[in-house]
Structure 1
Amino acid sequence: MTSVRRPSCFNRLLRVSNVTVPLAAATLLAPGIAGCTASSGRAEGEPDLSAYYEQQITWKPCSKETDKAVKDETEKADASAECGRLKVPYTYADPRKGEIGLALMRYRAKGGADHGGSLVLNFGGPGESGLKQLKEYGPDGFSKAGTRYDLVTFDPRGVGASSPVLCGGDGGMTEAEHASGPDLSGPDGMADFIADQERALQRCKRTAGNIIPYVGTVNAARDLDVLRAALGEEKLNYLGFSYGTKLGAVYAHRFPTKVGRMVMDGVDEPAPNLKDSTLAQTAAYQRALRHAVEMCTSRGDEDCALGSDTDKAMTNVARAFDELDDQPIDWPGGRKLDREGAIEETMGLLRSRESLPETPNLLAAIIYHVHPGEAAELGRAAADRAGGKRENGSHGKVEEAMTAINCADTSGRYTTRQVVSAYHEFVRASPVFGPFMAAGMAACTGWPQAGDDTSHDVRAVGAPKILMHTTEYDPATPVQWLPKMAAAVGSAVTMTDTGGGHSVYGTQDATCVNERIDAFLLEGTLPPDHSTCT
């Protein structure tokens, strides 16, 4: 669970882990991998999977791709982008049930003879298209990693161009549906929201029934090992962001001797609970908001539009957001900014290390009804990316996949009464974000497929040290999850930095983080455990 998804799409869910609601995965799989063979990961009593492990990937320029979904996700990618496909079974317990074709993408290393093989990336969500994200980062978006490694990513099962979970007619919602957000200003509105959501989620059983029993982090981790073999790698070198850290941890648990250099940035919770995890994220967003306000107020009245008193500024922010419930304000682009839109844009800025300094300008514009300048443009862009909005204005299928994976990864299901009774706990955790975030507790209420907690076990006995990093003011994966994941995995070196933002490796404003992760990926040099970048 990692990401915050706004409650305005087909089920108006929050992406909480990353702001997915942090969750782990499970499905209909054999319970363990003890006694795996070196080539196929086959355990005694399991079917023969050698046909999958012996695949060779046929790469071609993404510009020559004919698959519409892949073309959409890789449009305007760097000319060096290559695309391919990988076959995996619906279920590893019985490959006869059918196959899924995973969409792949890579940028070849630029370092010539000094080649370190492949570095597989997962961008989190869950539900993010790896192809789309790698296209947006480009071959140079990961500090120095692309000088040594082929950068390889994939759309996980149920995502993007890999048998996507489709719960709407075309996989997305109409603009009218996106425009009409729910009333989450009180417990009664939350009850109405859940009722609407349950009806919407039942649609998934009709339109996505074939794939939803087989999504989840455990199956995705098995897919990762098939990808490792198809890339010709003895060990998996891996970089996971947000929910991608959870996927990496499950892989390390299942295949500890196959772990190469593994980095986790924006570390997820190992064994999440929808209520507790979403509450933790709600408090983390409030903490990140205060941090952004303090960066401004510490400069004094003359240099900060919010003033010099942090407590007063935070009170003004909360009041201004409450007023948006009843009276939206004029906003650039001819829009009206309501509470939902303000929350989405503020969250977007808080998650972005580079855009974080614009947060006070956005808040000042909301409080004083003045033009927000660049802050609104940056906030809207971040909110659109989180919502899966494409350049052409249509919406992707991120939320459907996120819900399917999150709900596969937990047995927990809350009733409407339980969610409504917890509403004020969320408001106490954050007067600004609480009413919005409370919906995350109900992320799986009404989901038509049972889940389990298999992926909560991430103990990686025999795995090499894994480098884990989270910023001190990460709003989506609270910093307290970092030691929890490290302890659960049992083979980790942790580091933090004193800034904010979510999953910051590769950004220009994270020099120390970049240098330390580069040193590990390129040279195998780990920083001291529990170290901090300042």
Structure 2
Amino acid sequence: MRPVLAPSLSLPLAAALLACNLTACASRDEAAGRPDLTPYYDQEISWEPCSRDQDKTIRNETRHAPGTPECARLTVPYTYADPAKGELRLALMRYRTKDQDHRLGSLVLSFGGPGESGLVRLGARGPDGFSKAGGRYDLVTFDPRGTGASSPVRCGPRGAALRAARGADEDSGARGGLADRIEDRAKGLEECSRRSGPVLPHVGTVNTARDLDVLRAALGEDKLHYLGYSHGTRLGAAYAHSFPEKVGRMVMDGVDDPSPDARRTTLARAAAYHKALRHAVEICTRRGDEDCILGSDTDRAMENVTAAFDRLDEQPLPWVNGRTLDRETAVTRTMGLLRSRGGLPEAPNLLASIVYHLPPGESAHMAEEEAARAEGRTGDGHDGSGAARAAVNCADSAGRYTAGQVANAYDDFADASPVFGPVLASDMALCTGWPQAGDDGSHAVAAPRAPKILLHTSEFDPATPVQWLRRMARAVGPSAVTMTDTGGGHSVYGSPDAECVNDRIDSFLLDGTLPADRTRCT
């Protein structure tokens, strides 16, 4: 398989890069007028305590991280086709394993999003938040280009891209005026190019996969050992497609859809959230009337929940700490609990508060806060990654939907989920008005020459539907080994209540032992 290269590079160059070591080829590349990438691959990383880093953003991202994480920078070109166009420096973070005598190497973590700060997410979990992996590997993560402390994409103080990514309008659950609201947000995106500087044309999964290989070399690793969550699974697949001979032990948890079709993926996600919602309600109703405030009839409870969310369109509820609960906020909070393996059991308590106009119980409130911390989100339910999320998704897709097309699809979203669909519908318009063109190159993930790769998704995962696991496995090819479990939550490896999943992923990462294909944890 050939590396994924910038469009201006030819297939013969791709073959040449694959046929020889980059350093050995440097002189002939230079003589042939091709870019010399040796300086990037020969970097030595200089680690220091994150608290001493000169970059205020890095100190801010890691201020709550437990233990003594180390931070550093890695230099990469804006474009690998022409490094002379400029460089950027990626922010790195590491927890060294305490058992250096039995160290297996570095395990690179990507938390997806896209647009997630790896530094924030690793700091939120800490070195012990990945089952047994931190006992044998140095845990390493990074802020991908365009994200966090790595030349972040910026779209202005009003957060236009964030609203485009989340559909956060006062009447976000209503159909009326949807096209007008999308067009207004699209106009606000016009300033993204001006505010983001030279990085904007060069974000995206293709270039980030190239960055991963530079990071591998700078860490002194012959193979990339990798754990990708959510969109990080597609990044891992793109890497395996481009550098199959450099794949080490690779795990994908909460597997993304390889398709670039935003309408299809967003509809599937709305349906998956509804499936997860019903699963959470059913966990409660199975306990009966005496132990479940939602009652013992799942269908009736779901009708009550749906009606309660609909009422929030017109009558937001007074909420804790003097706040108001509108539909968008209620959806965001419920989604957060459904994504969290630990927060899932508390979702019925939050739903009961919305149905019966009661303040949420302390346990539900604590579960919400824990879910937010685990995802690196701020108190308003957002994670600050809206602009980066839009930038990466729009770089990775050539498709652009008009505001009218999104409005016409509204009924399909409401059918997929009367609770979540009206809010998630505007995700289809994520790239409407985005100032840069995109392409579908990052969705090429076939990796038949790579070693075995372990893919896992929970059956009630709301963010990456379980059918995406099968789609990704088919796209990757015979290298893919799949595993599911009967629980809920999104990207659950490392969760204390995902013992079966943890054990099997640990066995692969630590010993190289794979489960049988299509293993199902119960």
SS at the partner of 1:325? helix
**Deviation string, structure 1 residues 438-497 (Cα, Å, up to 9, x no partner):** 001100000010000011110113100000000000000000000110111111110000
Q: CA deviation at 1:116?
A: 0.4
Does the CA-based 8 Å contact 1:182-1:193 persist in structure 2? no
Find 1:378's aligned residue among 367, 383, 389.
Answer: 367
SS at match of 1:480: helix
Equivalent residue, structure 1, for 2:84: 96
Alignment pair present for 1:38 and 2:27: no
Is 1:66 matched with 2:54?
yes
Report the equivalent of 2:495.
Answer: 507
Give the one of 193, 200, 210 matched to 1:212.
Answer: 200
Q: Distance in 2 between matches of 1:336 and 1:484?
A: 40
The structural deviation recorded for 1:85 is 0.7
Matched, 1:329 2:317: yes
CA contact (8 A) 2:168 2:328 kept: no
- Could you tell me how far apart the structure 2 residues matched to 1:80 and 1:434 are? 42
Contact 2:160 2:185 in 1 (8 A): no
User: 1:371 Cα deviation (Å)?
Assistant: 2.4
1:26–1:451 Cα contact (<8 Å) kept:
no
> 2-side partners of 1:173 and 1:75: how far apart?
26
For the Cα contact (< 8 Å) 1:27–1:451, is it kept in 2? no
Is residue 479 from structure 1 mapped to residue 458 from structure 2 by the alignment? no
| CA distance 1:31–1:432, shift in 2 (3 Å) | farther
State the 1:385 CA deviation: 6.8
* Aligned counterpart for 2:138 among listed residues 150, 165, 168: 150
Among 405, 416, 430, the residue aligned to 2:417: 430
* Matched letter for residue 471 of structure 1: S
| Structure 2 equivalent of residue 526 of structure 1 | 514
Q: What is the rounded CA distance, in whole Å, between the counterparts of 1:518 and 1:41 in structure 2?
A: 36
Match of 2:184 in 1: 196
Name the CA distance, whole Å, in 2 between partners of 1:194 and 1:421: 13
Please state how far the C-alpha of 1:139 moved relative to its aligned partner: 0.8
In the alignment, structure 1 residue 229 sits paired with structure 2 residue 217:
yes
**8 Å CA contact retained: 1:119, 1:151:** yes
Q: Secondary structure at the match of 2:291?
A: coil
Structure 1 position 446 matched with structure 2 position 433 = yes
AA aligned opposite 2:198: N
- Measured after TM superposition, the shift of residue 370 of structure 1 is 1.6
How far does the alpha carbon of each residue in 1:244-300 deviate from its partner, in whole angstroms, 9 at most, with x for none?
Answer: 000000000000000000000000011231000000000000000001111111111
With 518-527 and 191-200 compared, the bigger mean Cα shift is at 191-200
Between the aligned partners of 1:475 and 1:174, the Cα distance in structure 2 is 21
Relative contact order, higher structure (CA 8 A, sep 6+): 1
Partner of 1:363: 351
- Kept in 2, the 8 Å contact 1:173–1:395? The answer is no
Q: Structure 2 CA distance, aligned partners of 1:372 and 1:166?
A: 35
Q: Deviations over 1:331-350 (max 9, x none)?
A: 22221111111101100000
Structure 2 residue identity aligned to 1:149: Y
For residues 389 and 519 of structure 2, the distance between their equivalents in structure 1, rounded to whole angstroms, comes to 33
> 1:309-350 deviations in whole A, cap 9, x for unaligned?
111010000000000111111222221111111101100000
Paired residue for 1:277? 265
Per the normalisation by structure 1, the TM-score is 0.90
1:5 alignment counterpart: none
Q: 1:170 to 1:108 in 2, by over 3 A?
A: farther
Corresponding residue for 1:517? 505
Matching residue within 61, 75, 84 for 1:87: 75
Tell me, yes or no, if structure 1 residue 244 matches structure 2 residue 221.
no
Equivalent residue number for residue 467 of structure 1: 454
User: Which residue number corresponds to residue 298 of structure 2?
Assistant: 310
Amino acid at match of 2:298: T
Whether the 8 Å CA contact 2:180–2:403 is kept in 1: the answer is: no
Q: Equivalents in 1 of 2:376, 2:136: separation in Å?
A: 33
Counterpart CA distance in 1 for 2:161 and 2:431 is: 19
| d(CA) in 1 for partners of 2:381, 2:501 | 35
- Equivalent residue, structure 2, for 1:16: none
Residue 55 of structure 1 is aligned with which of 28, 43, 53?
A: 43
Q: How does 1:280-291 map to 2 (within 5 A)?
A: 280-291=268-279
Q: CA deviation at 1:192?
A: 2.3
Quick one: percent identity of the two aligned structures? Answer: 61
318-327 or 366-375, which moves further after superposition?
A: 366-375
Pairwise CA distance, 1:379:
2.6
Cα 1:171–1:360 change in 2 (3 A) is closer
Q: What runs of 5+ residues in structure 1 fail to find an aligned partner?
A: 1-24
- Following superposition, the deviation at residue 205 of structure 1 comes to 2.0
Give the distance between the partners of 2:22 and 2:271, measured in 1 at CA. 45
Give the Cα separation in 2 of the matches to 1:26 and 1:269: 22
Question: Are the structure 2 counterparts of residues 345 and 384 from structure 1 closer, same or farther at C-alpha, using a change threshold of 3 Å?
Answer: farther
What CA RMSD, in Å, does the superposition of the two structures yield over aligned residues?
Answer: 2.4
Q: Which residue of 1 aligns with 2:395?
A: 408
CA shift in 2, pair 1:297/1:233, >3 Å: same
**Given residue 341 of structure 1, which amino acid in structure 2 is its aligned partner?**
T
Aligned-pair CA distance for 1:418: 0.8
Larger helix proportion of the pair: 2
**SS in structure 1 at match of 2:176:** helix
Q: Cα distance 1:179–1:188, how it changes in 2: closer, same or farther (>3 A)? A: closer
CA distance in 1, matches of 2:472, 2:24: 24
Change (3 A) 1:352 1:218: same
For the Cα contact (< 8 Å) 1:88–1:223, is it kept in 2?
yes
TM, length-normalised to structure 2: 0.92
Question: In the TM superposition, what is the alpha-carbon distance from 1:31 to its structure 2 partner?
Answer: 6.5
5+ residue gaps, structure 2, are none
Determine the C-alpha separation between the residues in 2 that align with 1:85 and 1:459: 31
Contact 1:164 1:397 in 2 (8 A): no
Distance 2:314 2:483 in 1: 43
The residue type equivalent to 2:455 in the other structure is M
